[in-house]
Amino acid sequence: MSNLKASEMRVVDRVLEMESGFVLNFSDRTIAEFFLDELNIDFNDPSFAVNGTSKAKRLRTFLQGVDKATAARTLRELLKCRAKIYRDSGRTDELPNADGMLLEVIGRLEGRDVGHGVAPPPAASPIPVESLKSELIALHNLEPHPRGYAFEKFLIGLFRAYGLQPNSPFRLVGEQIDGSFKFEGEFYLLEAKWHSPKTPAADLRNFHGKVTEKAAWARGLFISNSGFTEDGLQSFGRAKAIVCMDGLDLWTMLDKRIPLPEVLDRKLRHAAERGEVFCSVRDLFQIQS
């Protein structure tokens, strides 16, 4: 069983607009077709109607009764439907953090619980998002030299909040790595820069060289607050061992409450499918300005 918590089911209800017995804009026919086509599941199975026959009550019963993987897969597909509904209709989304809210639930179902091995944070705020946002804003008021170290510290705290087992900066002969973390069983080296100019191809190549010289399985994440030059990204090329984030990615992720593991997952998938080391969080999650 998925064992969705009451607080998580309230998130599902709110994001999928289920308070009145409906599920998004599905009719009885289209929701049955959706479950059959996308999930190969009979939504009209009587076992899903034991707590009521409305679409919302059937879906709640279904989500509570199936295994975690099936519940997560179902919520991912429904989240895609929600995004398409708002995109096609041009409606203003009255719940702009919907993706982040539901992706936190999906992350737990998929085994991406945060804070493993430590006391659980308060249920109302599993990740200190507002504190992280304030810390990120405060970095702008620092002088360049202390700001660089503070930026690294902020990132280590960010990774720790999402249970990614970060290591602090370390030095090797002739070079410095800004840190490392573990994601989905893989180890990533981290490069962090806060410079006024955008990061050029030379810096990307330098970091890529550090990563590929370590081990065949090593990967890297390059975070540049000011972003990357278009010429630099094009010159750097495709199909590399690193992916990139910029300052707007960090802010959008926190502001929309999108879990960091979900951001990394989508960036890695995009890099694997398109060979592009950078795609903005706004584009990956189709967030409107």
Residues 199-215 have a mean pLDDT of 89
Amino acid making up residue 196: S
**Greatest CA separation for the chain:** 67
* Stronger pLDDT, 104 or 173, i.e. the higher one: 104
Beta bridge partner(s), residue 180? 167, 189
Question: What is the distance of C-alpha 180 from the center of its chain?
Answer: 18
What pLDDT is attached to residue 115?
39
187 strand-pairing partners: 182
| 169 pLDDT more than 80 | no
pLDDT of residue 135: 94
Question: Is 155's pLDDT higher than 80?
Answer: yes
- Helix residue ranges per DSSP H, the chain: 6-15, 28-34, 55-65, 68-89, 98-109, 129-138, 144-161, 201-212, 230-236, 247-255, 260-274, 281-284
**How many other CB atoms are there within 10 angstroms of residue 185's CB atom?**
5
Pairing of strands 242-246, 175-177: unpaired
Looking up tokens 């584009």, which residue turns up?
283
* pLDDT surpassing 90 at residue 96: no
pLDDT of residue 13: 92
Minimal CA–CA distance to 259: which of 137, 102, 93? 102
Is residue 118 predicted with pLDDT exceeding 90? no
Q: How confident is the model at residue 170 (pLDDT cuts 50, 70, 90)?
A: low
Q: How confident is the model at residue 172 (pLDDT cuts 50, 70, 90)?
A: very low
Tens of pLDDT, residues 19-31: 878 899 899 999 9
* The pLDDT of residue 265 is above 50: yes
pLDDT at 224: 92
| % of the chain surpassing 90 pLDDT | 42
User: Average of pLDDT values for 113-133?
Assistant: 56
Stretch 177-182: mean pLDDT, rounded? Answer: 80
Is beta strand 186-193 parallel, antiparallel or unpaired with respect to 179-183?
A: antiparallel
Q: Are 151 and 192 in contact (CB under 8 A)?
A: yes
In this prediction, residue 123 has a pLDDT band, given cuts at 50, 70 and 90, of very low
Stretch 57-73: mean pLDDT: 91
Q: How many residues does the chain have?
A: 289
Residue 249: pLDDT band with limits 50, 70, 90: very high
The pLDDT confidence band at residue 119, using thresholds 50, 70 and 90, is: very low
Supply 52's token pair.
């009521």
- Quick one: pLDDT at residue 2? 67
The predicted pLDDT at position 122 comes to 37
Q: What is the mean pLDDT of residues 249-263?
A: 93
> What is the share, in percent, of the chain residues with pLDDT greater than 70?
91
Residue type, 236: F
Look at residue 176 in the predicted model and tell me its pLDDT. Answer: 55
Distance from first CA to last CA of the chain, Å, rounded? Answer: 38
Average pLDDT over residues 79-88: 86
Q: For residues 187-212, give the mean pLDDT.
A: 90
pLDDT band for position 15 (cuts 50, 70, 90): very high
117 vs 127: which has the higher pLDDT: 127
Q: How far is the CA of 200 from the CAs of 46, 242, 282, in angstroms?
A: 59, 15, 22
Rounded to an integer, the average pLDDT of 28-38 is 91
